[in-house]
Amino acid sequence: MEPKLDLPALLEVGGLEVRYGGIRAVRGIDLRVGERELVCLIGANGAGKSSTLRAIAGLSRDTGGSLRYAGRDIARLRAFERARLGLALVPEGRGVFSRLTVEENLAMGAYARSRAAARPVRERVLALFPRLAQRRGQTAGTLSGGEQQMLAIARALMSGPRLLLLDEPGMGLAPLIVQRIFEVIRMVNREGVAVLLVEQNARAALRLASRAYVMESGSIVLAGEARSLLDDPKVRSAYLGESG
Ligand SMILES: Nc1ncnc2c1ncn2[C@@H]1O[C@H](COP(=O)(O)OP(=O)(O)OP(=O)(O)O)[C@@H](O)[C@H]1O
Ligand SMILES: [Mg+2]
């Protein structure tokens, strides 16, 4: 988990604004994810974390600021065009197709690829998720919560992303399942996929990431090496449930 501050930027967000009517949910934030880096974004409910991820993915209407990804300006690209460039969002609440099987969900993730190109990717993805491999024919709606989260991540991986945006993958899951999901995120990152992880479980996220940003009321209030944030008294009392 050595810091990778010198990695070339894959994503550079400058002065990002997200508005909903009169509400400024994101108020001019700067953040950066290096190639192959694992960065986390933490903050209380309503801080603007999901809005940030959605804006990066191209799913927000009223936004401002600059977005550079893989050396190009993507601020005006539509969500599907960003996805084609390797930007994949796994949204809050998973969103698997519950009436489709595991196999069909994975196929949806690879829709932009030919069958021949999708096959080896699918094999690799299923190797990362042995539980899904056993349940290929099961409809997604009947999977457990943890399995559905794994399927959502697996489906995103089918598109062959360079940057994975994960919105609270541990939400509502038992600690052991969260641990397993975080292990998978680590493995995916080791294979070269950059990750921007939003997570309520700040301690686990800070242990996994090399760098982190802390968001409060639409602004970034702290940024730095994940390890030093874990030791920061302000982070400890506000986000790690420790007094003093
Ligand atoms: N579609 C929307 N319309 C109006 N307001 C919205 C919309 N989406 C989010 N907001 C508001 O924007 C603010 C930021 O919300 P956001 O979902 O980005 O926070 P978050 O940090 O992801 O919170 P949580 O940890 O609860 O998921 C909140 O005040 C929320 O009510
Ligand atoms: Mg959220």
Q: Which atom of ligand 1 is nearest to the CA of 47?
A: 21
Atom 12 (ligand 1): residue with closest C-alpha?
25
* Residue 34: closest CA among 221, 163, 205: 163
Ligand 2 mean position to 49 CA, how many Å? 5
Pocket test for ligand 1, best of 40, 51, 63, 220 (most atoms within 8 A of CB): 51
* The overall pTM is greater than 0.85: yes
Low-confidence residues of the chain, pLDDT below 50? 1-2, 244
pLDDT at position 1: 46
- Confirm or reject: Cβ of 172 under 6 Å from ligand 1: no
Paired residues of 68 in beta bridges: 12, 73
Q: Containing H/E element for 26?
A: strand 23-34
Paired residues of 73 in beta bridges: 68
* Among the bound ligands, the one closest to the CA of 25: 1
Ligand 2 mean position to 45 CA, how many Å? 7
- Confirm or reject: Cβ of 47 under 6 Å from ligand 1: yes
Cα–Cα distance for residue pair 42/236, rounded to 1 Å: 12
pLDDT at position 6: 65
* Among the bound ligands, the one closest to the CA of 49: 1
Count how many Cα atoms sit within 13 Å of the Cα of residue 87 in the half-sphere of its side chain: 26
Cα–Cα distance for residue pair 65/11, rounded to 1 Å: 13
Q: Is 151 helix (H, G, I), strand (E, B) or coil?
A: helix
pLDDT at position 157: 93
Domain ranges of the chain: 9-239
* Residue 28: closest CA among 63, 80, 70: 63
Angle ∠(120,124,125) on CA atoms, nearest 5? 115
Cα–Cα distance for residue pair 79/93, rounded to 1 Å: 19
Four-way CATH pick for 9-239: 3.40.50.2000, 3.40.50.300, 3.30.160.110, 3.40.718.10: 3.40.50.300
Buried-exposed string 98-114: b where 16+ CB fall within 10 A, e elsewhere: eebbbbebbbebbeebe
Cα–Cα distance for residue pair 234/100, rounded to 1 Å: 45
- DSSP secondary-structure letter at 141? G
The residue written with tokens 């192959």 in the block is 36
